[in-house]
């Protein structure tokens, strides 16, 4: 078993925003937290980038067919200043976690791309 002090830090730092069901029994909840703690390296955080686990890389096939639903076929329009501010915060977080990265001409400049808000 791992030290409780380390597990307590993991719970307070990493699981603070987790939404674990309140319907779980205390025993199952503790078992779940123990499993999450045991395999904590499989998850990204603000301080640790999201990386592929060697030997478990995933190939994602990009579908280029235009089979969008009607709601996604609407004309593009600029985001409101409030929405843009919130989007920029979220995009910055995803870039820090290496989920998103700038490509091509955007590597040195501002990211300009279509964002779908659902």
Q: Which residue ranges of the chain lie beneath pLDDT 70?
A: 1-5, 44-53, 63-64, 66-73, 103-118
What pLDDT, on the 0 to 100 scale, is given for residue 116?
60
What pLDDT, on the 0 to 100 scale, is given for residue 105?
60
The structural domains of the chain, with segments of one domain joined by +, span 4-42, 50-118
Would you tell me how many other CB atoms lie within 10 Å of the CB of residue 98? 12
What pLDDT, on the 0 to 100 scale, is given for residue 2?
43
Among left, alpha and beta (phi > 0; psi -120 to 50; other), residue 78 is beta
What pLDDT, on the 0 to 100 scale, is given for residue 4?
53
pLDDT tens string 13-27: 778 778 888 899 999
What pLDDT, on the 0 to 100 scale, is given for residue 27?
94
């Amino acid at each position: 078993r791992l030290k409780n002090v380390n597990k307590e830090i993991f719970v307070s730092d990493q699981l603070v925003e987790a939404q674990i069901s309140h319907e779980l029994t205390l025993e199952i909840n503790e078992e779940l937290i123990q499993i999450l703690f045991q395999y904590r390296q499989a998850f990204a955080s603000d301080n640790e980038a999201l990386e592929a686990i060697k030997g478990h890389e995933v190939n994602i096939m990009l579908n280029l067919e235009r089979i969008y639903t009607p709601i996604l076929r609407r004309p593009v329009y600029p985001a409101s200043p409030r929405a843009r501010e919130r989007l920029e915060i979220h995009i910055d977080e995803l870039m820090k976690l290496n989920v998103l990265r700038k490509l091509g001409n955007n590597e040195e400049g501002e990211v300009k791309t279509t964002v779908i808000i659902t």
